[in-house]
Structure formats: C-alpha cells, structure tokens
Amino acid sequence: MAVGKIIIAGNWKMHKTQAEALEFLTVLKSNVEETDEAREIVLCVPFTALSILSKSLHGGKVRLGAQNVHWEDQGAYTGEISGPMLTELGVDYVVIGHSERRQYFGETDETANLRVITAQRHGLTPILCVGETKQQRDAGEAESVIINQLQKGLVDVDQSKLVIAYEPIWAIGTGDTCDAEEANRIIKVIREQLSNQKVTIQYGGSVKPNNIDEIMKQSDIDGALVGGASLDPVNFARIVNYQ
Ligand code: PGA
C-alpha cells in the first residue's frame, strides 16, 4: 500500500567485481522492463563498481547508490569516499549507518548524522538505517532504541530528501525475517517521530522473493533494503516485481 514513494534497494555489501556487476545488470534490466515506473529500483554497490554501472545505466530505470559517504569533501581520511566523488559518478543514493558499519567499524549515531547531512548537501538521498539487536528486543527496548537512533541521527536533517530503513539486526543475513505485521508496527512508530509523513520507510532483514509480497502488503512499508537476495538478478527482479 505504502505511504511514501516506493523504493526497492539492493545492498550488495562487499560483493561483486566490475565484471560481475555488469553481468548482473544485463540480466536485471531484461527482468524489469515491465516494472511499474512508480517503483524506484536502486543498486547500492561497492565503490569500485559505481563507475562501470553508471556508464551502463544511461538514465534508465535503475538508480545507483553507494554504501557510505564521508562528511568532509576531501582530506586526510584514508579509506573514505566524499560526496563530490560520488556525485561525479551519477550516484543518487547512499546507505548510511548500516548496522555492519556500526558493529564492525565503530560508526555512531553522531557520525551517521554528519554523513546524512553531508549526503544531502551534495544532492544525494541518504538511506539512514536503524534497528535493534535481539537482546534489546527481548528486553522490550526495541522502540526506545530506534527512537534514540532517530533523534540523534536526524539532527538538522532535511526530511524532504530522506529514506529510512528499519533493519532489525537479528533479521539481517539470518533468514529470520521480522514478521511483516511487526515490521509495519515499528515503521509506524518511526513515522510518528518524523515531521514529514511522506518519508519513504523501508524494511530490511532477510527480504526474499518468498516474503516480499507479504511485506509490501503492509500499510506503512514503502519498500525494502535487500542484502543477500539482491546478489542474484532474477531473485532481485522478483522482489522488485512484488505482487
Ligand atoms: P539481508 O541484508 O537481506 O541479507 O538480511 C539486509 C541488509 O543488511 O541491508
């Protein structure tokens, strides 16, 4: 049903060489020719695949996303990528504050906030990820954790150019999807925190061809952020073409 614009994004994480990326795109394109124009398709790929994919997209249906952006435009920040480096390649979206960045690379709500603001300054649409751990959920803290992540992550952020992904950490890469109705309930809680009710709020965490229809049937879920199942172009196309 959806409240905001429908956006289905693949998050390839650290997968695919340039050659593999091109092969993927060829198959994906042939499977999304009939896809409703109202559904935005985004591929969030490693930095090394951005350039070649950008050349092959030619303003077609599929949009390009990166998986991070630094808050400075340039400088001594080994291993980081800046906004101008991404926009030069035709990138439109950028994933920020993914739980893997928070867990393995020490990112915080404060750095996520800086990255979101910077993305917007360069005309990129940030996809800000929030979500609770299993332990937090079991302790009944899911809502408070998420509200806190939003309050800190959205300081001074323009909500007219923003996507939020609700990704319960226990559902990421585990095959253990959050029940669609429960995801919808949390997404409503997220929406209550926003000043712009039209922000696209995605669900992420073990989204697959066999559960996407149920997920997209929910009243408040505006799309999906898809990890593992976005690596196969036929599977990803089936998710994009949910019924
Ligand atoms: P998954 O990953 O679909 O493999 O669970 C989702 C994500 O991390 O964005």
Six token digits for residue 51: 């350039």
Which one from 98, 100, 107, 132 is the annotated catalytic residue?
98
Domain boundaries, the chain: 6-231
How many other C-beta atoms are found inside a 10 Å radius of the C-beta of residue 23? 13
* 206 pocket-lining for ligand 1 (C-beta < 6 Å): yes
Report the nearest atom of ligand 1 relative to the CA of 172.
5
Amino acid in position 192? E
* 228 pocket-lining for ligand 1 (C-beta < 6 Å): yes
Cα separation, 27 vs 31, in Å, equals: 7
CATH classification number, 6-231, choose in 2.60.40.10, 3.40.30.10, 3.90.1640.10, 3.20.20.70: 3.20.20.70
Residue 96 CA, distance from chain mean position: 8
Task: Give the pLDDT of the chain (243 residues) as one tens digit per residue.
Answer: 799 999 999 999 999 999 999 999 999 999 999 999 999 999 999 999 999 999 998 767 899 999 999 999 999 999 999 999 999 999 999 999 999 999 999 999 999 999 999 999 999 999 999 999 999 999 999 999 999 999 999 999 999 999 999 999 999 998 888 999 999 999 999 999 999 999 999 999 999 999 999 999 999 999 999 999 999 999 999 999 999
Report whether 119 contacts 94 (CB < 8 A): yes
Known catalytic residue: 58? no
Known catalytic residue: 167? yes
Largest Cα–Cα separation, the chain: 48
The confidence score (pLDDT) of residue 1 equals 77
Cα separation, 107 vs 94, in Å, equals: 15
Question: If you measure from the C-alpha of residue 75 to the centroid of ligand 1, how many angstroms do you get, rounded to a whole number?
Answer: 31
Report the nearest atom of ligand 1 relative to the CA of 11.
9
Question: If you measure from the C-alpha of residue 169 to the centroid of ligand 1, how many angstroms do you get, rounded to a whole number?
Answer: 9
